[in-house]
């Protein structure tokens, strides 16, 4: 863990980066803030945008929060933006697109403005109940993690950090603004978001957060399959998916959202005649990532993650002492289709990933002739990686 001097230095550097990033997007952010101010409302950059500014990686997606109600936001933003959408207005969010000149470049900014709010699940509903708040402090305390519970009031660029988010960002740790139990009760998906942010940012998760995830793992069942799927995708497509997947397994959450993964922890036979299939699977995911040429490939990574899920059901101890997994690729393809369908993946993606799982033991170059398999270009070397060290 960093010492106090290191954290102070990191905080100072983060502050400098944030100021630089905020100045970069000032033309669009300040212009919008002035319009809210003229209408009698406040506006602040918030959440992931502030976190990314502190990390020096603020992009063109900007998140704002305001005391204005959604209909007031629409009145302010429609004459200003190039395009406006209100699909999230039931949750207090108005989206917009705005082209602005930054330096010598025209940039297209994707903007979301959300009214101060609080939301919570009850024990039977799959959808959060939304109520609007009157202060930014009330809004920030309901956010998932302290590193996402910071704001910058505009146009004066005043930092608002009531929960120590900048210190946690410097320490690279994920904590919740209130107790993790309260946070996860409000929205159980935040448990998966902890794993996702650990994978995206390469952060550690605070011990009390991990404990709450273990104790409340079953609460994830109240969340819709679509939200679970979207969060899982972000984790899988992150820079460090192994870290996030391991956290889901270690806390027991994977038992509810992807039970086929912890099931790969096969009990070793006394002579250790087969490898740890779970560890092998995580290695294969990393090997698949190394094959990507055009950025993260969801089809490839899902196939790598699921390629051996048929092994627990097909494991046999032969008379000669060998361990076999005959036809695990066929069983695994059926299991893949069932799991991905339950998670509401598209029919096309289910078909592609299932096909790759089914073919993962085929020889190098399979699919280079007629009837090419999905993603065959990427997978032409992947089967050997997938099956390396396997006993079919």
Residue 175 has pLDDT above 90, yes or no: yes
- Residue showing tokens 């779970």: 278
Residue 69 has pLDDT above 70, yes or no: yes
My answer on whether 273 and 143 are in the same domain is no
My answer on whether 141 and 271 are in the same domain is no
My answer on whether 9 and 151 are in the same domain is yes
My answer on whether 147 and 267 are in the same domain is no
Task: Specify the pLDDT at position 374.
Answer: 43
Contact 39, 76 (CB under 8 A): yes
In a domain, 194, yes or no: no
Contact 53, 61 (CB under 8 A): no
Say if strands 61-66 and 105-115 run parallel, antiparallel, or are unpaired.
Answer: parallel
**Phi and psi at residue 181, to the nearest 5°:** -65, -45
Q: Please count the helices (runs of H) and the strands (runs of E) in the chain.
A: 19, 13
**What CATH number does residue 50 fall under?**
3.30.460.10
Per-residue CA distances from 109 to 27, 58, 99 (Å): 11, 11, 6
Of 19-23, 171-175, 314-318, 332-336, the least confident: 19-23
Longest dimension (CA), the chain: 82
Question: Could you give the number of structural domains in the chain?
Answer: 2
What CA–CA distance (Å, rounded) separates 261 from 281? Answer: 9
Domain that holds residue 73: 1-170
Tokens of 167: 């210190």
My answer on whether 18 and 127 are in the same domain is yes
In a domain, 371, yes or no: yes
Is the pTM higher than 0.75? The answer reads: yes
pLDDT in tens, 123-149: 556 566 678 888 999 999 989 999 999
Residue ending a domain, among 112, 144, 170, is 170
In a domain, 217, yes or no: no
What CA–CA distance (Å, rounded) separates 321 from 273? Answer: 8
In a domain, 207, yes or no: no
Task: Specify the pLDDT at position 316.
Answer: 74
* More confident call, 51 vs 378: 51
What CA–CA distance (Å, rounded) separates 39 from 127? Answer: 32
Per-residue CA distances from 27 to 24, 31, 100, 154, 247 (Å): 8, 6, 7, 12, 40
Say if strands 93-102 and 43-46 run parallel, antiparallel, or are unpaired.
Answer: unpaired
pLDDT band (50, 70, 90) for residue 270: very low
My answer on whether 160 and 269 are in the same domain is no
pLDDT band (50, 70, 90) for residue 387: very low
Q: Give the distance, in angstroms, between the CA of residue 145 and the centroid of all CA atoms in the same chain.
A: 13
In a domain, 205, yes or no: no
In a domain, 338, yes or no: yes
């Amino acid at each position: 863990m960093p010492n106090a001097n290191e954290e102070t230095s990191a905080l100072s550097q983060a502050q400098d980066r944030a100021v630089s990033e905020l100045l970069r997007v000032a033309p669009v952010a300040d212009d919008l803030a002035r319009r809210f101010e003229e209408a009698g409302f406040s506006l602040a950059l918030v959440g992931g945008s502030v976190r990314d500014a502190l990390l020096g990686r603020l992009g063109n997606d900007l998140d704002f929060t305001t005391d204005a109600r959604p209909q007031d936001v629409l009145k302010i933003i429609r004459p200003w933006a190039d395009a406006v959408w209100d699909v999230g207005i039931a949750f207090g969010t108005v989206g917009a697109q705005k082209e602005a000149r930054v330096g010598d470049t025209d940039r297209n900014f994707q903007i979301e403005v959300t009214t101060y709010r609080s939301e919570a699940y009850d024990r039977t509903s799959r959808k959060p109940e939304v109520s609007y708040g009157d202060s930014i402090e009330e809004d920030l305390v309901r956010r998932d993690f302290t590193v996402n519970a910071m704001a910058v009031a505009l146009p004066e660029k005043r930092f608002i950090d009531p929960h120590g988010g900048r210190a946690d960002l410097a320490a690279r740790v994920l904590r919740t603004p209130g107790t993790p139990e309260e946070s996860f009760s409000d929205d159980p998906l935040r448990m998966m978001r902890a794993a996702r942010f650990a994978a995206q940012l390469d952060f550690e998760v605070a011990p009390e957060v991990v404990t709450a995830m273990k104790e409340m793992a079953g609460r994830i069942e109240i969340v819709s399959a679509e939200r679970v799927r979207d969060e899982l995708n972000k984790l899988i497509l992150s820079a460090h998916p192994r870290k996030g997947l391991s956290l889901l397994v270690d806390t027991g959450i994977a038992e509810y959202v992807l039970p086929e993964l912890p099931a790969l922890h096969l009990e070793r036979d006394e002579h250790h005649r087969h490898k740890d299939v779970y560890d092998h699977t995580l290695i294969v995911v990393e090997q698949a990532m190394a094959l990507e040429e055009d950025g993260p490939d969801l089809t490839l990574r899902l196939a790598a993650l699921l390629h051996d899920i048929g092994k627990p059901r097909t494991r046999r101890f032969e008379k000669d002492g060998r361990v076999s997994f005959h036809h695990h690729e066929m069983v695994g393809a059926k299991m893949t289709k069932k799991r991905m369908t339950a998670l509401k993946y598209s029919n096309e993606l289910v078909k592609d990933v299932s096909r790759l799982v089914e073919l993962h033991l085929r020889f190098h170059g399979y699919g280079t002739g007629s009837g090419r398999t999905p993603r065959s270009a990427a997978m032409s070397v992947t089967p050997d990686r997938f099956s390396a060290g396997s006993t079919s």
